[in-house]
Amino acid sequence: MIETPASSPVAERFSAEQAVAAGTDYAELKVGPLGLFWNEFRPQDGACRIWHWRDGQAHCLTPDGFSVRSRVYEYGGGGFCLSDDGLVFVNEADQQLYHQDLLGGQPQPLTHGERHHGDLRWADGQVLAVEETHAPGQVEHRLVALRNGERRVLAEGADFYAAPTLSGDGQRLAWIEWSRPEQPWTITRLMCSARGVDGQWQTADCVAGEAESLQQPCFDAQGRLYCLSDRNGFWQPWGETPEGWAALPALAADHASAPWQLGASSWLALGENSYLASWFEGGFSRLGVQRADGSLDEFSGAYTRFRSLDQDGQFIYAIAASASSPAAVIAIDRSSHAVQVLAGGVLPLPSEQISQPRSISYRSGDGVAHGFFYPAMDGSSTPPLVVFVHGGPTSACHPVLDTRIQYWTQRGFAVADLNYRGSTSYGRAYRQALHLRWGEVDVEDACAAVSYLAGEGLINPQQAFIRGGSAGGYTTLCALAFRDVFRGGASLYGVSDPLALTRDTHKFEGDYLDWLIGDPQVDIERYRARTPLLYAGQIKVPVIFFQGELDAVVVPAQTRTMLEALLANGIAAQGHFYANERHGFRTAANLAHALEEEWKFYCEILGKC
């Protein structure tokens, strides 16, 4: 068992350090009268910093010692908002709110309690926020407004809240809420409250939310309320009309991803039933303005993924990426469609050395699964394969430049990046296919991918590996325990004991296992049948584990127990534990170490080291 990272020789060509260094990402782009702002994450120091773009230049506003990141619901999001004279942000270290001016001064604290905030909105001279409070054995959430140091509760009583949004005239307040055992992608409610003549908020009405998932409410300039709903099978725009709540003209496609984090912005209402949006087609993202008459003005260009949309009178702004370009902050001219890259987008490799994804769809069990195939770059016709299984499991992979994938293809491995049944971007029915079947259909899809690619003559099925983080780690361990397809695998902070997860995990996912597998008491036999730890003796191939010691989602004890069980059975297992990491690694040295150790592990199995 290896408890700390050790130095490793630099691999030939595209190194793990280079792959990690190219992993700069962006989030929560916002535009206002003071300019354009975005949150930038750099793996070199693991910090998130706000950048300000104005008059053709960008500069960093966040001083050393601060990192802009919320931990509400553990996954955070919604970490900053624009104020009248600067911005308000959540500081990662203490989860308190701070005000930051635009002159480079030191951030000033706005809160001092044991509260955690996220999904910030600046409206009517105040901060609207989701507040999280912790007490022994209890976590509570509510909507609050903060003005001049005073806190006012706007809504409480539901288990979870998201996206507080005020109309332009300040007379209507909308938000999303949901109650356990639901998740934000199963059933939520759209709530709306009107301001009374006394200035107080009246009792809120539930506008929508019977058997649908709603997200990202917004008002247009006329004060009409809109929201994304999957009532018709996809997350599509709906809005208030004279005839009532109705669907807007839209393609039959998801116009959002699963809301694991707060603060998403994948669409904006423009008024008169027109809107700017990104949507998914076959896993690829597109961007355009949908008009009320059904016409579409597309702005996708060469990009295949769009996030965090905003706009002003001249430009559409987005965080975008493609199969040949890493994440970038871009501005698209509304008239000419010309694209200006404001930050990021720098190629880490020559374009001819980048493995391009091929969209794949294949039969698996009683359904069809999707994903992307990346050929090895060494010219081999039947290379070894690494199957990537994304986390969530209600999440998705996208056909954008991922330096981790390129690291593998540079070393003669092909990669299959899977959107197994249960993933988002393919509609509600596909997403719901994992209901009570986690550990079955995802495993089936991973194994079927190997058969499909082998049948196409693209890989060597005798040299297939599987790897995944979090829920993807669970799929990995299940595939190794219950199927004889893979030569080895890697679990990154993966679930090995779902029953233990029901006892130890946080509030946001406290009932998720009930939806994925069943009631832990009523369906105990189903849990046992899908618990890799109980079947560790059936794993006959090597496994490598990577785990953060501060992980509150999959606690380290789970990984240690699984590792020890394999070692006791004589399996060539390894474990790497990182003292300063949580659920999902952020430190560059640890990311590079994990990537290189996993590669060396597979090479040893194949006898190539």
Whether residues 387 and 284 fall in one domain: no
Among residues 323, 344, 365, which one ends one of the domains? 344
Q: What is the CATH number of the domain that holds 562?
A: 3.40.50.1820
Does residue 417 share a domain with residue 496?
A: yes
Question: Has residue 8 been placed in a domain?
Answer: no
Q: What is the mean pLDDT of each run of 10 residues along the chain (609 residues)?
A: 37 77 88 96 89 92 95 92 94 94 89 85 88 89 92 95 95 97 96 94 94 96 95 96 90 96 96 93 95 92 96 96 95 97 92 95 97 95 96 95 95 97 97 97 98 98 97 97 98 93 84 95 96 96 97 88 96 96 89 96 91
The CA distance from 413 to 376, in Å, is: 5
Look up the CATH number of the domain holding residue 73: 2.130.10.120
Q: Is residue 44 part of a domain?
A: yes
pLDDT at 2: 41
Structure token digits, residue 391: 């986390």
The two tokens of residue 577 are 């534990």
Domain boundary among 344, 379, 414: 344
Is residue 340 located within the same domain as residue 356? no
Asked if residue 513 belongs to a domain, the reply is yes
306 with 373, same domain: the answer is no
Is there a domain that residue 9 lies in? no
Cα(232)–Cα(354) distance, rounded to whole angstroms? 38
Q: Are both 336 and 365 inside the same structural domain?
A: no
Same-domain status, 473 and 585: yes
Could you list the beta-strand ranges (E) of 299-377.
Answer: 305-311, 315-322, 325-333, 339-344, 358-364, 367-374
Among the candidates 328, 344, 360, a domain finishes at 344
Residues 157 and 270 in one domain: yes
Domain range for 545 is 351-606
Alpha-carbon gap, residue 474 to 393, rounded angstroms: 9
- Assess whether 329 and 375 both reside in one domain: no
**Tens of pLDDT along 121-171?**
888 789 999 999 988 888 999 999 999 888 999 999 999 999 999 999 999
Q: For 64-99, how does the pLDDT look when each residue is reduced to its tens digit (9 = 90+)?
A: 999 999 999 988 999 999 999 999 999 999 999 999
Q: 291 with 360, same domain?
A: no
In a domain, 70, yes or no: yes
Segment 32-46, tens digit of pLDDT:
999 999 999 988 888
Rg of the chain, C-alpha, whole Å: 24
Nearest to 319 by CA among 307, 331, 334, 310: 307
- 311 and 361 fall within a common domain: no
Q: Considering the domain boundaries, does residue 402 fall inside one?
A: yes
Q: Are residues 241 and 364 in the same domain?
A: no
Q: What is the DSSP letter of 202?
A: P
Q: Which pLDDT value is given to residue 609? A: 63
The model's pTM is: 0.92
**Whether residues 181 and 310 fall in one domain:** yes
Q: Give the model's pLDDT for residue 432.
A: 96
The domain total for the chain is: 2
